[in-house]
Amino acid sequence: MSTSTKLLQITLRWLSLKPENFRKYKGKPLGLSVNHSRKILLLTIFDDQDLGFFTNFVGVFIFVLVTAYHYVMADPKFEGN
Protein backbone atom coordinates (compact mmCIF):
# COMPACT_ATOMS: atom_id res chain seq x y z
CA MET A 1 0.00 0.00 0.00
CA SER A 2 1.39 3.41 -0.95
CA THR A 3 2.11 6.14 1.57
CA SER A 4 -0.57 8.46 0.18
CA THR A 5 -3.21 5.71 0.41
CA LYS A 6 -2.19 4.98 3.98
CA LEU A 7 -2.33 8.68 4.91
CA LEU A 8 -5.77 8.97 3.32
CA GLN A 9 -7.08 6.00 5.28
CA ILE A 10 -5.65 7.35 8.53
CA THR A 11 -7.13 10.80 7.85
CA LEU A 12 -10.56 9.35 7.09
CA ARG A 13 -10.45 7.27 10.28
CA TRP A 14 -9.36 10.34 12.26
CA LEU A 15 -12.17 12.47 10.81
CA SER A 16 -14.76 9.84 11.67
CA LEU A 17 -13.81 9.81 15.38
CA LYS A 18 -16.20 11.44 17.79
CA PRO A 19 -14.80 14.22 20.01
CA GLU A 20 -15.40 12.19 23.18
CA ASN A 21 -13.08 9.48 21.87
CA PHE A 22 -10.11 11.85 21.58
CA ARG A 23 -9.31 11.43 25.28
CA LYS A 24 -8.58 7.79 24.59
CA TYR A 25 -5.67 8.77 22.33
CA LYS A 26 -4.26 11.42 24.70
CA GLY A 27 -4.30 14.20 22.09
CA LYS A 28 -2.71 12.14 19.36
CA PRO A 29 -5.21 10.99 16.73
CA LEU A 30 -4.95 7.20 16.38
CA GLY A 31 -1.83 7.22 18.53
CA LEU A 32 0.30 8.86 15.82
CA SER A 33 3.37 10.92 16.58
CA VAL A 34 3.05 14.70 16.48
CA ASN A 35 5.12 15.00 13.28
CA HIS A 36 3.01 12.38 11.50
CA SER A 37 -0.18 14.16 12.59
CA ARG A 38 1.19 17.43 11.23
CA LYS A 39 1.91 15.80 7.86
CA ILE A 40 -1.70 14.64 7.63
CA LEU A 41 -2.96 18.08 8.66
CA LEU A 42 -0.73 19.86 6.14
CA LEU A 43 -1.96 17.60 3.35
CA THR A 44 -5.60 18.35 4.09
CA ILE A 45 -5.64 22.09 4.87
CA PHE A 46 -5.71 24.50 1.91
CA ASP A 47 -7.49 27.70 2.95
CA ASP A 48 -8.69 30.62 0.84
CA GLN A 49 -5.52 32.66 1.40
CA ASP A 50 -3.37 29.83 0.03
CA LEU A 51 -5.72 29.45 -2.93
CA GLY A 52 -5.50 33.19 -3.63
CA PHE A 53 -1.71 33.12 -3.53
CA PHE A 54 -1.59 30.07 -5.81
CA THR A 55 -3.93 31.58 -8.43
CA ASN A 56 -2.03 34.86 -8.33
CA PHE A 57 1.28 33.04 -8.83
CA VAL A 58 -0.10 30.98 -11.74
CA GLY A 59 -1.55 34.11 -13.35
CA VAL A 60 1.76 35.98 -13.18
CA PHE A 61 3.60 32.92 -14.52
CA ILE A 62 1.25 32.65 -17.52
CA PHE A 63 1.57 36.40 -18.15
CA VAL A 64 5.38 36.11 -18.23
CA LEU A 65 5.18 33.12 -20.59
CA VAL A 66 2.87 34.96 -23.01
CA THR A 67 5.09 38.05 -22.90
CA ALA A 68 8.21 35.96 -23.58
CA TYR A 69 6.45 34.18 -26.45
CA HIS A 70 5.51 37.46 -28.12
CA TYR A 71 8.99 38.88 -27.57
CA VAL A 72 10.76 35.85 -29.05
CA MET A 73 8.36 34.35 -31.61
CA ALA A 74 6.41 37.34 -32.91
CA ASP A 75 9.39 39.58 -33.62
CA PRO A 76 8.42 41.72 -36.66
CA LYS A 77 11.95 42.25 -38.03
CA PHE A 78 12.19 38.59 -39.13
CA GLU A 79 8.72 38.41 -40.71
CA GLY A 80 7.95 39.10 -44.36
CA ASN A 81 10.43 40.70 -46.77
Do 34 and 59 belong together in one domain? Answer: no
Contact 37, 17 (CB under 8 A): no
What pLDDT was estimated at residue 33?
61
List the domain range (segments joined by +) for residue 77: 46-81
All residue ranges of the chain with pLDDT < 50 are: none
Crossing angle of helices 3-16/34-44, nearest 10°? 90
Which of 12, 13, 17, 7 lies closest to 42 in space, CA to CA? 7
Residue range 60-69, pLDDT digits in tens: 999 999 999 9
Do 71 and 51 belong together in one domain? Answer: yes
Do 55 and 36 belong together in one domain? Answer: no
Per the structure, the count of domains in the chain is: 2
Do 19 and 40 belong together in one domain? Answer: yes
What pLDDT was estimated at residue 56?
96
Specify the length of the chain in residues.
81
Do 37 and 66 belong together in one domain? Answer: no
Residue range 44-56, pLDDT digits in tens: 667 788 889 999 9
